[in-house]
Every structure is written in structure tokens, then in C-alpha cells.
């Protein structure tokens, strides 16, 4: 009966009813997995945290997998930015390349559950959400572009940059997963291993 409120402070309170419940659900899911792991994420719990019905979520996501896909997509955006920033700030050369590798592993170690949702097979990368694929490809492309640029300057050898990128992606991904799973010995942090790896990647390990 009252005329529509114009003051944003007032609208902010029940803003979930006006279109941003979707983002609120994603944010809450991210916070929940950060604190309680992926197993600790329940749709009912997220709803309760946001003081919303258990089923309100289904207005914005088809199912739990769709929410996880959105969480992964959100993660890839941050990830993409972190990699690009490291490469750029490091001077787009050898140092930038090493900084990018470190940034990769640091993101994973700092956000283990989020990283796991992005890469742990909770969402099938092969199909489904086109936005997820776009964001994941975007992050990967930072690496590919950096390789092409380095090849152009003779910093690294020629060869298919896509394949080279997959090789390097696999290395940092592997280090990240081993670190997250606690499979690295105590005296060997994921970051230390990454620094050593960036050297090995460049120089190889062959004998004299």
C-alpha cells in the first residue's frame, strides 16, 4: 500500500527477493566450502544461512551441480585475474612466468576447496555450462599467450604453444593437488616445489 521505497538502504534488506539471490547463493556456497569443505555444502544449509527456504535455490539453479558449476565459474574468474596480474607485474618475461606459476599454486593452496570444485571432477568440464568453459579457457589462455610471447622473444623453445601450455598446466596442477591433499612432505612446501619446478621446466633434468 505504501508507495515504493526509493531509499536504497531500505531495499537492501530484502534484496534477495529482487534478483541477486543467485549471487548471494554463490557467495554463501563459497564461504561454506571454505569453512567446511565441499562435503559440508548442503543446499538446505545454504538456504538456512541466507534465511531463505530450502527450495528457493531452485529458482536460480537447476540442481546442486549447477550451483557448484557457478562456484567453479566464479573461481575461474578470480584465478584468471590472479594469473594475468602475476604475469603482468612480473614483467612478462622469465620472472613473470615464474610469478605466474607461483600465483597458480598459491591460489590453489589458499583456496583448496574452491580449487577442488574447479578441477576435482565435481562438475564435468567436458559439457554443460558454457560460461564455465569460457572462464576456464580464459584462464588457460593467459598461459598460452605468455608462452607465445616468450617464444617470440626467444626465451623458450618453439613448438606447439597449446601443447606446451598443457604440459606446464599439468605440472602446476599436479603440485597444487599434491599440496592440497597433504601429500607433500613437511619440509617441502608446495611453493618451494613450484620454485624448483619452474627451474626444472626451463633447464630439464638430463645428465651431463
Partner DNA sequence: ACCTGAACACCGTTCAAGT
- Looking up cell 618453439 gives 158
Distances (CA, A) of 135 to 4, 53, 122: 38, 30, 16
The least CB distance from residue 76 to a second copy, in Å, is 12
Residue matched to cell numbers 575461474 = 76
Cell matching residue 189: 612446501
Q: Is 4 in the site for a second copy (CB under 8 A)?
A: no
The answer to whether 25 contacts a second copy (rule: CB under 8 A) is no
- Cell 599467450 belongs to 145
Which of 64, 69, 70, 62 lies closest to 23, judged by CA?
A: 70
Q: What's the min distance (Å) between Cβ of 171 and a second copy?
A: 5
- The answer to whether 177 contacts a second copy (rule: CB under 8 A) is yes
Nearest alpha carbon to residue 104 among 68, 143, 51, 58: 143
Number of residues that bind a second copy (CB under 8 A): 48
- Burial environment of residue 184 by CB neighbours within 10 A (0 to 12, 13 to 18, 19 or more): middle
- In the list 116, 132, 135, 146, the residue contacting a second copy (rule: CB under 8 A) is 116
Site for DNA in 6-25 (CB under 7 A): 16-17, 19, 21
Give the nearest distance from C-beta 202 to a second copy in angstroms: 5
- Applying CB under 8 A, the residues found at the interface with a second copy are 116, 119-121, 124-126, 136, 150-151, 154-157, 159, 162-164, 166-167, 169-175, 177-178, 180-185, 188, 193, 196-197, 200-208
Amino acid at each position: 500500500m505504501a508507495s515504493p521505497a526509493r531509499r536504497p538502504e531500505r531495499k537492501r534488506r530484502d534484496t534477495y527477493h529482487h534478483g541477486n539471490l543467485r549471487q548471494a547463493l554463490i557467495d554463501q556456497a563459497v564461504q561454506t566450502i571454505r569453512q567446511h569443505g565441499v562435503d559440508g555444502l548442503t543446499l538446505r544449509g545454504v538456504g538456512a544461512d541466507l534465511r531463505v527456504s530450502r527450495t528457493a535455490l531452485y529458482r536460480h539453479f537447476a540442481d546442486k551441480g549447477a550451483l557448484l558449476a557457478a562456484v567453479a565459474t566464479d573461481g575461474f574468474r578470480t584465478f584468471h585475474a590472479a594469473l594475468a596480474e602475476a604475469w603482468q607485474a612480473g614483467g612478462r618475461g622469465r620472472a613473470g612466468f615464474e610469478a605466474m606459476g607461483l600465483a597458480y599454486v598459491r591460489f590453489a593452496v589458499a583456496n583448496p576447496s574452491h580449487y577442488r570444485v574447479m578441477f576435482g571432477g565435481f562438475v564435468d568440464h567436458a559439457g554443460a555450462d558454457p560460461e564455465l568453459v569460457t572462464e576456464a579457457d580464459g584462464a588457460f589462455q593467459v598461459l598460452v599467450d605468455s608462452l607465445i610471447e616468450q617464444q617470440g622473444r626467444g626465451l623458450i623453445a618453439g613448438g606447439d604453444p597449446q601443447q606446451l601450455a598443457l604440459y606446464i598446466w599439468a605440472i602446476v596442477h599436479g603440485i597444487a593437488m599434491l599440496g592440497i591433499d597433504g601429500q607433500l612432505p613437511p619440509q617441502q612446501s608446495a611453493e618451494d616445489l613450484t620454485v624448483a619446478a619452474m627451474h626444472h621446466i626451463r633447464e630439464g633434468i638430463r645428465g651431463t
